[in-house]
Chains A and B, each alone.
Chain A
Amino acid sequence: QITLKESGPTLVKHTQTLTLTCSFSAFSLYTSGEAVGWIRQPPGKALEWLGLIYWNDEKRYSPSLKNRLTITRDTSKNEVVLTMTNMDPVDTATYYCAHSRPRYHDFDFWGQGTLVTVSS
């Protein structure tokens, strides 16, 4: 059974950089056909896709956030790291990582999510 879990700070200050780690098991991001995505949900609002990293290290980012986002994978661990620069209070949200199947572009397994609050 695939599992994912997000970790990182719960509180960041305005203009700081957010770094979140997604630790996963039961699949390898070096296996063809695998991908990990990041999605967030501000309080009371809809899900918003942030980005994807594929097994071949290709990355895709939300057009509206691509200048602030970087997604990387740790070559020695089953981890994916999301970095978001210049945080603003509007970035306060629950951040999820999820396993994606590029064949479908869906997200079949999700982490529990982590709430990140940005203080002004």
Chain B
Amino acid sequence: QSVLTQTPSVSGAPGQRVTISCTGSSSNIGAGYDVHWYQHLPGTAPKLLIYGNNNRPSGVPDRFSGSKSGTSASLAITGLQAEDEADYYCQSYDNSLSGSVVFGGGTKLTV
């Protein structure tokens, strides 16, 4: 069971907007630690999509955006494209048990 909770699956039609949620607790997201998002296509390495809650690395389209509030965070994808079909993971840091990196359980996006 993952420390960060994500909805197992979401779906949307091409062109639509979807959001993926990530719920944590007072020892991770709620403690002020940044949330990051990764896109993972089968057979490839995960790709950093959003870092520091709402920042996009160079090359990531502005269709992807992140937000954080309290003990939760969200990834929004607008103008859905077929190529966006992938697994999405949130990640943060947790200050319990000597400090550790924590991942969400992942959300499968179907377009």
CB-contact partner of A107 in B33, B34, B48, under 8 A: B48
CB-contact partner of B98 in A60, A98, A107, A108, under 8 A: A60
Distance to closest chain A CB from B89 (angstroms): 5
Distance to closest chain A CB from B110 (angstroms): 16
In the complex the two chains form, is B34's CB within 8 Å of A104's CB?
yes
In the complex the two chains form, is B103's CB within 8 Å of A47's CB?
yes
**What 0/1 pattern do residues 70 to 111 of B give for CB contact below 8 A with A?**
000000000000000000010111000111111111100000
In the complex the two chains form, is B100's CB within 8 Å of A49's CB?
yes
Point out the residues of chain A lying under 8 angstroms from B106, CB to CB: 46-47
Looking at A37, A46, A107, A111, the one whose CB has the most chain B CB atoms below 10 A away is A46
In the complex the two chains form, is B46's CB within 8 Å of A105's CB?
no
Number of A-B residue pairs with CB-CB distance less than 8 Å in the complex they form: 67
In the complex the two chains form, is A46's CB within 8 Å of B100's CB?
no
Contacting B at CB under 8 A, from A36-56, are 37, 39, 46-49, 52
In the complex the two chains form, is A108's CB within 8 Å of B57's CB?
yes
Distance to closest chain B CB from A4 (angstroms): 9
In the complex the two chains form, is A46's CB within 8 Å of B34's CB?
no
Closest to B6 in A: A46
CB-contact partner of B99 in A60, A106, A110, A112, under 8 A: A60
**Known A47-B103, A60-B101, A96-B46; 9 more pairs at CB < 8 Å:** A46-B2, A46-B103, A47-B40, A49-B91, A105-B101, A106-B51, A107-B36, A108-B51, A112-B45
Q: List 25 A-B contacts (CB under 8 A).
A: A37-B101, A39-B46, A46-B103, A46-B105, A47-B40, A47-B46, A47-B103, A47-B106, A49-B102, A52-B101, A60-B99, A62-B100, A63-B98, A96-B46, A98-B46, A104-B36, A104-B51, A104-B52, A105-B101, A106-B91, A107-B91, A108-B57, A110-B45, A111-B45, A112-B44
